[in-house]
Every structure is written in structure tokens, then in C-alpha cells.
Amino acid sequence: MTRRRDMIFAAAFAAALFAGSVAQAQSGPIRLGFSMSRTGFLAQAMPDQVNVYELWKEQVNARGGLVVAGGARRPIEFVDYDNQSKPDVSVRIYEKLITDDKVDLLLAPWGTPFHIAVAPILEKYKFPMVGNTAASVAVRQVKAGYIWFPTSAIPDRLGVELVALLKTQNVKTAVLLCNVLPFSKEIKTFLEPELKKAGIEIKLNTEYPPDVKDMTSMLTQVKQANPDAVLALAYPGDSVLYTKQAKELGIAAPFQFVAIGPSGSSYTAAVGKSANNIVTIGHWAPERSEWPGAKAFNDDYVKRFKDQPDYLNSALAWMSLEILEQAVAKVGLDKEKLREYISQTTFDTINGKVKFNGVENAITPTAFLQIQGDSPKLIWPPSIATSTFRPKKDW
Amino acid sequence: MWLDTLLSGQLLFSALVTGSLYAIVAVGLNLVYGTMRLLNVAHGDLVMGGAYLAYWSLTLLGVPPLLSLWMIGLGGALIGLALYRSMFRRLLIASADPGRVEANSLLLFFGISILVQNTIAWFATPTPRAYLYLDDVYKLGDTAMTGNRIASLVTAAATCAGIWLYLRHHVVGLALRAVIDSPLAARIVGVNVEQVHRTSFVLGFASASVAGVLVSMMEQFSPFVGFPFSIAAFIVCILGGLGNIGAGFVAALFLGVIETYGIALTSLNWRSVLLYGVFVATLLAFPQGLFGRRVRS
């Protein structure tokens, strides 16, 4: 009798424990996992993205948590690891996040190689993740299903749109300066034939290594070529170098395009008013009133970090969080339902409507920013422009 | 047109700025290696530290870099002194074998390098930093020169000249050269070797910090920019002959000229090929460095 009573008591205790843990799982914090390049050569790119994640977490928790379909709000917490700027380490981290840490949701790492590297893991474990800072024609090779890319800055589309913008400015001659890193090389691959097709003469076409420290000899040739447009397919470090040395040499081209870097505040901090009228890649700006959350995001970021968000990478990171948040609010944390919902739905973001066709954002147009005064303005395409192109007249 | 470019003052100015920066970065490494056979792979991180201190001095305290570099140089010297007293003096006493000193110092400095990089990344975030200082452009004939590049050239040249004069004329400087030439003979004739070691650390760390100030005036920097400076410093030191301070200055200018004019004749993509090609070719022809033999004779 006593033994039977003990067994009943033990079973009841176990059932209570199980019920408690289920309740805890349904009301406790939602755990979001990601890896980030906190150390290594890509670490300097990390703050633009991770700051956005932190801001979102603070705002969501201040609202009482993330709305999960069919339930109450639940607070969120991050599980994140340093990938040492190595895609293979990132792959192992995402596998650990899914299988060992058993996180509820995943956020994206920084950069195209990292996104492409983790895609097979997402496919293997059928775990959806909205990407953000990845832009390459290679993303179209990624199997559609569990990863999506909100950017519209895909190199083939960039080539077409940049040449369309050049033609509106009656550009007849250009020089092409290209950092040999993958993204800039990819832009060059698509830009060069478009320039030729448009009849724009390429007066100088040269490449340089990522560790460039002095561009004097190259820019002396640019000055001698005296083109209508300088197209510097640069990364953040050499964007600053180009601008400083182009100023020193007095490069006078009225159209000056610097691919990556000018969308972030560290560029303007480094070069000051020389940044004025530099054209760069970017499809978001806070001034556009048709995107209601855009200004609020910008203001909140500035208030929290005393710095401007990067108009490309920070905006993309926030867009990915908005998409995830809307999907979780609608279908909860079920991975298959999330996958289906994200694949089929049109989302409202700070960059306007976003809908995915396969892995690619099918709505946001490929666009360009120009630094005018103290911030970048959208100047292309006309459908979303907040300002018009201004020729660069001085440094 | 090519000849015009090659003969232009613009390239000469650029070569001098690059060469003088290499010289001031390398001299500290050369002093520390020459006197103690310590392989300071964290040398570039000292440069990076100097850059951050200049940035904070300007942005937080409003002190312009050409003023703060005195304090930053002094700060670098004090850090060098502290590291010497706390770690490296013991290492030098404990290891009589120079090969072992080199290996152990390599490990120690490697650890310090990682520690410095990640502490600054944690404390200041890895966001690239830069500031505007002396960014007006001046013209001398057809040669355009940004103020901060002129300031860098003058400061680096003055610092290197100061160190050179100190080594030539001051009694401790002479003792330092004696220790570089032959530590054992210097000890036998009564040179205070420990004082020489201490001085090398102080001068080496101070000059690296000042180099960091100059870098910060011209370039964007992050906690991870130090390693290329360490590599450049090693190339200069080996080209000139390890421990040969004067030859190091010449080697640095030589490297600046090769880099600037070599690129003008080829392409920027050839930069590494030119630098390392010249480095390897020189070592094959002169295993002691460009000036190693002449100094020893």
C-alpha cells in the first residue's frame, strides 16, 4: 500500500515537473542565437549590425517581449559567439546553436561568405533564418527554403542601375578602380560590360590590393585621364584612403562613386566635408516618409549609440529583425510555419514593402545614395529618391 | 607622360612619407631586437595603441596630435619600462641561450599582442576610428601635399634623427651600440647592460607610440591594424641588418622608394610582390642585410 502510494506520489511529482518545464518553455525568454566577427579582420564591420540587434532587443523587452502567435509577450535573450572572422567557425557555431543550445530563433552573421556558409546547416536542420548583410549573385545559387536575403544591392543589378544613373548625368568617360576583394570584383564584372554597352569610354581600368596604403601613383594616372566619372569599387578602409588622396591631388571628376564605406558615419568622420557629393551603394534613407519606421529607427539608433547607423548594413539588419518579428507574431516559433510564412508574405519594413522571390528581395529597388551635407540622401532611382544628384565641385 | 609622372615631386613626396613612417615604426623593433634578441611581434599593436591615444586626446580632451604625441611618447616609454621590469628582465636573466630568449619572447609578445588588440576592441569597440587634423592641401610647384602628411614626414624624420644622434653622441647611446655589436664584450668593458636594455625598451616603445600618432593623423585605424606594421618593421630591420639602426633608416627609405616608384611603373597589385620580392632578393644577395657586412667591418 505504502509502496503504491509512493509511486503515485513520484509520478505526480514528475508530471508536475514536466508541466512546469513546458510552462516555463512557453513563458520564459525566447532565445535567439547568432555568431558575430567580434575578433579578426572583419571585426570592424560588426558594430553596424550588432548594435542594431542590441537596440532591437532592448526595445522588444521594453515593450514586454516578443509577441508570439497565440500567446503572451515573451522577453528575448541572445546566445552569441565570436566566429573570429572565419566562415567555417561560424558554421560550427550555428550547428551548436541549433543542436546544443537549442535556441528558438536564429539571427544572421555579418557578410556574404558567412551567410552562404551557414545556409546548408539551416537546410539540414530545417531552421529558417532571415539574412541581412549579404550581397552577391552567388546568393541565387543558395537553395531557397530556409534563408532569405533582403538586400537589393546585388552586383548585376548594381551594374545596370549605376550606368543608368551615369547616363542621366551625360557621363562620357570614366575610370574604374577596383579593390580585388570578392564583392567589388563582382560589381566590376557586371559594370564593365554595361559601361561599354552604354558607350562610356573607360579611360583607365585598374585593380589594387586590399592592404593598399598609398594610391598616389594610381590617382596621378586618374588625374591625367581627367574623366567625367571616377568609379572606385572600394571597401571601407580604402574608401577613406581614396577620398583623402583624391583631395590631395585634386581629382576633379564631377561624378565620384565610392562603393562601400560612405554609407557609414566612420567615413564622414574620417574625411569630413570631402565626403560631400560622393555617391555610394545604399537603398535606405530615414527621410523617406513613405517608410514610417525609418525615421524612428534612425533617431533611436542615434540616441542609443550617439552615432549614425550605417545606411546599408544597419538598415538591412533592422529589416531582417522586422521580418522575423512580424512572422513570429503571426505563426509563432514553429520552424516550418515560419519558413512558409516568410516565403509567401509581403512585409512592412523601414525600407518599404519586402517580399521574397526564392531567396531574393523582389520589391526593393537597387538604389544609390549621395552624401549631401551631413547625411546620405537617396538619389536613384527616381521612384524612391529623396534628393537629386549634385556634381562634385570641390573637396 | 610616364617620365613626367616618375620625375614628379608627387611621387617623391609620397615615397618620403611612406619611407619615414616605415623608419619610425621599425626603429623601436630594431633597438629591442638588437640589444636583447627579443622578437616583439606586438610592435604594430603599440603603433595601434598610440593611434587610439591620439584619437582620444583630440576627441575627448581637445589636445591636438602634435602636442599629445609628447605625452603619448612618454606614456609608451613608461609602458615599455613597466613591461621590461615586470616580464622581460626576468626572461633575460633566466635564459642565457639567445635562441631560447628569442623563442620565449616571441610567445610572450604574441600573447601581449592578442591581449592589447582584444582589450581595445572590447573597451572601444572595433569600429574604425579617424579624425580630421591638418587636412588642408598645400602646393609646392606641381606637388600637392596634405598638411598631416607633411607633419608626419617632419615628425618621423626628426624622431629618427634624434634617436640617431643619441646613439652617436650620448654615453648610453654609445653603450647601446656596443651591446648591439657584442653583448659579451660590452659587459667585459663595464657597460651597464641592464641600463642599456631598459633604455632600448623605453626608446622602442616611445617611438612606436609616436608612430601611432602619425598613422592616426593620416589613416583610419581599428584594433586590428597593428600586424601589417609589425611585418613592415621586420622587413625593414632585416633589410638593413637586424640591430643595425642607421642602416634600418636607409632600408626604410629604400622600401618607400621601391613601393612608390615600383607601383608607378607596374600596378598597385604588384605592391606585395615588389616588397617581398626585393626583400627575398636582397637576403639572397646579402644574407646579413643590405648594410650588415659594412657595419661589422
Q: Model ipTM? A: 0.88
Separation between Cα atoms, residue B139 and residue B268, nearest integer Å: 25
Q: How far is B190 from chain A (nearest CA, A)?
A: 45
Q: Which of A132-136, A145-149, B16-20, B284-288 has the lowest mean pLDDT?
A: B284-288
- Partner-chain residue, chosen from B117, B260, B268, that has the shortest CB–CB distance to A209: B268
Residue A5 has a pLDDT of: 61
Q: How confident is the model at residue B101 (pLDDT cuts 50, 70, 90)?
A: confident
Residue B295 has a pLDDT of: 45
Q: Which residue has the cell 584594433?
A: B223
Residue B296 has a pLDDT of: 45
Joined together, the cell numbers standing for residue B11 give 611621387
Interface contacts A/B by beta carbons within 8 Å: 117
Q: Which helix (H) or strand (E) holds B56?
A: helix B43-61
Residue A89 has a pLDDT of: 96
B176-222 per-position pLDDT tens digit: 989 988 888 998 999 999 999 999 999 999 999 999 999 999 999 99
Domain ranges of chain B: 2-285
A158 close to A281: Cβ distance less than 8 angstroms: yes
DSSP letter at B102? H
Whether A266 sits inside 8 A of B117 (CB atoms) is no
Q: Which residues contact B70 (CB under 8 A, 6 or more apart)?
A: none
Burial A334-366 (b: 16+ CB within 10 A, else e): ebebbbebbbeeebebbbbebbbeebbbebbbb
Separation between Cα atoms, residue A350 and residue A292, nearest integer Å: 7
Joined together, the cell numbers standing for residue B47 give 603603433
In DSSP terms, which residues pair with A283 in a beta bridge?
none
A239-293 per-position pLDDT tens digit: 999 999 999 999 999 999 999 999 999 999 999 999 999 999 999 999 998 998 9
Q: Which helix (H) or strand (E) holds A232?
A: strand A229-233
B148-158 per-position pLDDT tens digit: 999 999 999 99
In which order are the strands placed within the sheet that holds A229-233? A201-208, A173-179, A229-233, A255-258, A279-281, A368-372, A375-380
Residue A1 has a pLDDT of: 46
Chain A within 8 Å of B145 (Cβ-Cβ)?
Answer: yes
What mean pLDDT comes out for the span A53-62? 98
Tell me: pLDDT of B297 over 50. no
Q: Which residues contact B294 (CB under 8 A, 6 or more apart)?
A: none
> Which of A41, A50, A214 to mutate to probe the B interface, most B CBs <10 Å?
A214
Closest-CA residue of A relative to B273 is A209
A72-116 per-position pLDDT tens digit: 899 999 999 999 889 999 999 999 999 999 999 999 999 898 999
HSE value, Cβ hemisphere, 13 Å, CA-based, for A36: 24
For B2-285, give the CATH class. mainly alpha
Tell me: pLDDT of A19 over 70. no
Q: How far is A375 from chain B (nearest CA, A)?
A: 17
Closest-CA residue of B relative to A210 is B269
Whether B5 sits inside 8 A of A217 (CB atoms) is yes
Joined together, the cell numbers standing for residue B24 give 619610425
Q: Which residue in B49, B221, B128 sits closest to A47, CA to CA? A: B128
What mean pLDDT comes out for the span B162-181? 92
- Indicate if the alpha-carbon torsion angle B150, B156, B160, B161 is positive or negative: positive
DSSP letter at B129? B
Q: Which residues contact B162 (CB under 8 A, 6 or more apart)?
A: none
3-state secondary structure of B264: helix
Q: How confident is the model at residue A128 (pLDDT cuts 50, 70, 90)?
A: very high
- Residues in chain B closer than 8 A to A395 (CB atoms): 137
B228-271 per-position pLDDT tens digit: 999 999 999 989 888 888 999 999 999 999 999 999 888 888 88
Residue A26 has a pLDDT of: 60
Burial B136-159 (b: 16+ CB within 10 A, else e): eeeeeeeebbbebbbbbbebbbeb
Joined together, the cell numbers standing for residue B270 give 604588384
Whether B130 sits inside 8 A of A270 (CB atoms) is yes
Chain B within 8 Å of A247 (Cβ-Cβ)?
Answer: yes
Residue B79 has a pLDDT of: 96
Whether A209 sits inside 8 A of B260 (CB atoms) is no
- Partner-chain residue, chosen from B1, B145, B268, that has the shortest CB–CB distance to A208: B268
Whether B128 sits inside 8 A of A212 (CB atoms) is no
- Angle formed by the axes of helices A335-344 and A313-331, nearest 10°: 120
Mean pLDDT computed over every residue of chain A: 92
